[in-house]
């Protein structure tokens, strides 16, 4: 693959990520273009002799919104789905955000030319990884406490995308491995006299042209203010909001994890002899949920929320299960909304995820809950019917 062409692509994504940073109210600058767009557009112009090349910034932004496969003249990295554009609704598109966070930042592949501001976004993201690393190290000598603190931290970030210093103090004053400042650094100050909104399905919302917009439209894209899951955050002094990268990488994927956890906890409370324990993120996030049943069997569950089943299939591998994390069956669980978007989602996944062992099952979250219920019923019937079943058998014989 031509590396210099990939650099141009990365330059565009990084530049647009800065240009459309959600916390800055950008103003369309007059000509000349911002520096990165100038550089990228010069190269594109050279390659686009046969295309109409836009002469204004407005025109260029309109072009960047179109599916790349319809116009982009250079190599597109395979990690970017070219059916999508780089921007959407005057913000970085979901596909471009995914590329920015999952490819460039997470893998530390931020190009050298990235500006100080972009380096800053990357640093913010490493603050969480640094904490995770600290807890994983502590896990070797102090497994129980570090695990407890990890669950506390992660659950807090998912369920409190807005917080205050007072709440941080109340929650993290007794923790040994995590300081109040560590967690505080994952948030940024909200502006005074500004109203803030949150969606129960996708977290903090951004105001755009008088509308509320979610962080990832493919997860959730209806944010009319009168909907029950769209909430206005009451004004508080010193209100803080999760930083964008933490929202994207920790809070958003955590929402279906916590939802399934609560549903299973409810089953556990109803039938503690059969579903004995539901553990969140065992082994500091080796997998998402560990279920222990009355017959001693253990299930390991990972929840994966990807728009595209082909992309997800590439990520699926056997779930880690050594030592204390040993399990009998493992499950990849897909949030229902993905199956509404694409009914053959699970079939595609089953066909494409060829590296998975037979003991790993693929389910939607409702189907998985049903499976757990069926297991509980089975265990209950086994116990209840052991004696009557034999009697019945003998009676009918």
- H-helix or E-strand spanning residue 144: helix 143-159
**Under rule CB under 5 A, residue 220 binds Zn ion:** yes
Residue with smaller CB distance to Zn ion, 201 or 338? 201
Binding mask 168-207 for Zn ion (x = CB under 5 A): -------------------------------x-xx-----
- Continuous H helices in 22-109: 35-47, 57-65, 94-98
Closer Cβ to Zn ion, 223 or 268, answer by number? 223
Q: Are 318 and 329 in contact (CB under 8 A)?
A: no
Cβ distance 304 to 333 under 8 Å?
yes
Nearest CB to Zn ion, comparing residues 15 and 214 = 214
Shortest distance, CB of residue 215 to Zn ion, whole angstroms? Answer: 8
The three-class DSSP label of residue 311 is helix
Judged by CB under 5 A, the number of residues near Zn ion is: 5
Is 213 or 268 the residue whose CB approaches Zn ion more closely? 213
Which residue in 198, 134, 186, 178 sits closest to 157, CA to CA? 186
Least distance to Zn ion, CB of residue 249, Å:
17
Which stretch, 165-173, 211-219, 261-269, 301-309, contacts Zn ion (CB under 5 A)?
Answer: 211-219
Please state the closest distance from residue 298 (CB atom) to Zn ion, in A. 34
**Comparing C-alpha atoms, which of 67, 73, 66 is closest to residue 45?**
73
* Beta-carbon contacts of residue 135 (< 8 Å; ≥ 6 apart): 146, 149, 150, 153, 177, 178, 284
| Integer Cα distance of 210 and 262 in angstroms | 34
Give the chain's end-to-end CA distance (angstroms, integer): 73
Stretch that binds Zn ion, among 16-24, 65-73, 88-96, 217-225 (CB under 5 A): 217-225
Q: Which of 177, 80, 176, 133 is nearest to 72 (CA)?
A: 80
Going by their DSSP bridges, the two strands 196-199 and 230-233 should be labelled as antiparallel
In the list 22, 214, 256, 335, the residue contacting Zn ion (rule: CB under 5 A) is 214
Tokens of 371: 């499976």
Min dist. Cβ of residue 217 to Zn ion (A): 9
Tell me the two tokens of residue 186: 């994952």
Q: With contacts defined by CB under 5 A, name the span among 17-25, 33-41, 130-138, 220-228 that binds Zn ion.
A: 220-228
215 binds Zn ion per the rule CB under 5 A: no
Residue 118 as a binder of Zn ion (CB under 5 A): the answer is: no
Stretch that binds Zn ion, among 30-38, 55-63, 208-216, 278-286 (CB under 5 A): 208-216
Question: Measured from the CB of residue 262, what is the shortest distance to Zn ion in angstroms?
Answer: 18
Span of 22-30, 43-51, 76-84, 212-220 interacting with Zn ion by CB under 5 A: 212-220
Nearest approach, Cβ of residue 213 and Zn ion (Å) = 9
Q: Which of 227, 228, 205, 232 is nearest to 216 (CA)?
A: 205
- β-bridge partners, 213: 206
Q: Name the residue nearer to Zn ion (CB basis): 203 or 245.
A: 203
Binding site for Zn ion (CB under 5 A): 199, 201-202, 214, 220
């Amino acid at each position: 693959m031509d590396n210099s062409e990939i650099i141009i692509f990365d330059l565009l994504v990084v530049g647009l990520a800065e240009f459309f940073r959600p916390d800055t109210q950008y103003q369309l600058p007059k000509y000349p273009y911002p520096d990165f767009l100038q550089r990228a557009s010069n190269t594109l112009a050279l390659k686009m002799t046969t295309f109409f090349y836009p002469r204004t910034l407005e025109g260029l932004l309109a072009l960047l919104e179109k599916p790349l496969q319809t116009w982009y003249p250079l190599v597109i990295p395979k990690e970017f789905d070219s059916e999508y554009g780089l921007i959407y609704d005057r913000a970085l598109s979901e596909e471009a955000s995914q590329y920015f966070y999952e490819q460039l930042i997470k893998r530390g592949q931020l190009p050298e030319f990235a500006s100080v501001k972009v380096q800053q976004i990357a640093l913010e993201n490493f603050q969480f990884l640094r904490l995770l690393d600290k807890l994983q190290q502590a896990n070797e000598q102090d497994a129980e406490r570090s695990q407890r603190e990890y669950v506390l931290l992660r659950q807090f970030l998912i369920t409190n995308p807005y917080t205050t210093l007072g709440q941080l103090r109340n929650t993290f004053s007794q923790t040994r491995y995590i300081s109040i400042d560590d967690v505080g650094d994952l948030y940024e100050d909200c502006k005074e006299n500004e109203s803030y909104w949150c969606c129960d399905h996708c977290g903090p919302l951004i105001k755009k042209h008088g509308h509320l917009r979610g962080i990832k439209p493919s997860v959730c894209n209806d944010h009319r203010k009168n909907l029950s899951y769209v909430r206005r955050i009451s004004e508080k002094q010193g209100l803080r909001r999760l930083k964008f990268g933490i929202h994207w990488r920790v809070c958003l994927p955590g929402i279906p994890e916590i939802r399934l956890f609560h549903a299973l906890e409810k089953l556990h409370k109803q039938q503690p002899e059969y579903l004995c324990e539901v553990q969140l993120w065992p082994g500091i996030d080796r997998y998402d949920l560990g279920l222990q049943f009355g017959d001693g069997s253990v299930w390991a569950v990972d929840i994966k929320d990807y728009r595209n089943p082909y992309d997800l299939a590439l990520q699926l591998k056997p779930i880690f299960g050594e030592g204390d994390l040993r399990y009998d069956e493992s499950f990849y669980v897909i949030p229902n909304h993905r199956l509404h978007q694409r009914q053959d989602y699970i079939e595609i996944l089953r066909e494409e995820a060829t590296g998975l062992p037979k003991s790993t099952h693929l389910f939607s979250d409702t189907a998985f809950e049903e499976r757990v219920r069926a297991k509980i019923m089975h265990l209950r019937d086994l116990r209840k019917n052991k004696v009557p079943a034999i009697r019945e058998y003998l009676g009918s014989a």
